[in-house]
Structure formats: structure tokens, C-alpha cells
Structure 1
Amino acid sequence: MPPHRIFTTPFAAVYPLYVQKAERKGRTREEVDEIIRWLTGYDPAGLALQLERQTDFATFFAQAPAIHPHSAMIKGVVCGVRVEDVQDPLMQRIRQLDKLIDELAKGKAMDKILRR
């Protein structure tokens, strides 16, 4: 079975959609970036470089400096899929990021989104 299409999609192609979703609900690009950096361990320059290079999702997560240890606490349903039940590790990371952005758009406090 071929890999899922999202794995080869450039992260930079989806990033603006994350930002738009957040901004439509009164949140900011900076909050989106904070969530991405929290999950992946990228610093601002590293995230900007990944966006500039048009890195695909598989590479984006493979090169992530440090997946946050509390990422296992990300639970719930996003796009009809229960995040904690996703078997493929890469797809689970992508769904975790989707879930965090959903929580941001729904107005949840950053401390709760970042599992502090």
C-alpha cells in the first residue's frame, strides 16, 4: 500500500491553513507557531527553515529536534478519528498537531493546549 498522500505534502502548503483556521477564530499566527514548536522542538529559525525548504510532513517530523514528552497526553477526536488510536506513528503526529490547532481555534487556553 502506498504511503498516505499527506506524508509527501509540503508542510508549508498546510501551514497557512492552520494559521487561517486560528485567525478566523481570533487567535494568532504566533500561537500556531508556539504550538508547532512545543510539539516538535523546532526553534523559530528551524521552523522558518522547514517552511522555506517546502519540507514534506514525513521529513518535517523526522527532523523534529524533540517531540514533546507530553504529546502522549493529546487525546480526542479530530476529523472523525480518535488521535490516540492511530497506529501509524507519523499519522498520529499529524493528527496530534491537527488536534492542537483545533483546540486553539475552539478558544482553549494555551496552558491547557500545551498540557501544562
Structure 2
Amino acid sequence: MRSRDSLAFVVAAALSFATLVGVGCSERPVQPCVCEQSPAVDAPLMAFLSKARAAHHQADLREQAGDRKGAVEALEKVVDSTVALGERAEVREVQSDTLARLSDLRGQQGD
């Protein structure tokens, strides 16, 4: 009989503990993830990336036509438009690629 009382006590204690833990957990406020505050790619960034892609395409066409000056002008628009977007990694990467390409084109022109 004593083992049955001990078993009942252990079961009651375990249920009480589980209930207390469950209540304690349910009262914690749920903190939103930092990444949920803003989308990873917003509209201004998408617009910039689209314009940069178009400018590089235009520069490709002008370079193929032998118009290096026109290619430089197309790419300078990309570099000039990055100021408003700040220090985002995607913007820095596009700007770095564009500056490297501008350097190559200017070197071919003798600038």
C-alpha cells in the first residue's frame, strides 16, 4: 500500500510541476523576430537592382557597338543613384562591380 501512495505522490508532483511550467511559459510575451520588422528586399532596393541591371545591359550594347563613352555614361547613372539607398550590402556589391567596370572602360579609353 505504501508504494501505491508513493506512486500517487510522484504522479501528483509531476502533474503539478508540469502545470506550473506550462503556466509560466504561457505568460511570457512573444517577442517578434527582428527579421520580421522589414522585408529582406523592399521596393526601393528592387527598383535600384532593376535599374542597375538595365544600365549594365545598355552598357553592354554600347560597348559592343564600339561606343565606350556611352557605356561609361550608362554605368555612371548606377553609381550616382546609390546615395539614397545607404549602406546596404546589395547596393555596395552592385556599386563595387559597377566601379570596377567603369575603371576597365575608362582604361580602354585612355582616361
- TM-score, L = length of structure 1: 0.29
- TM-score, L = length of structure 2: 0.29
Instruction: Say which structure is richer in helix.
Output: 2
Rg comparison, structure with higher value: 2
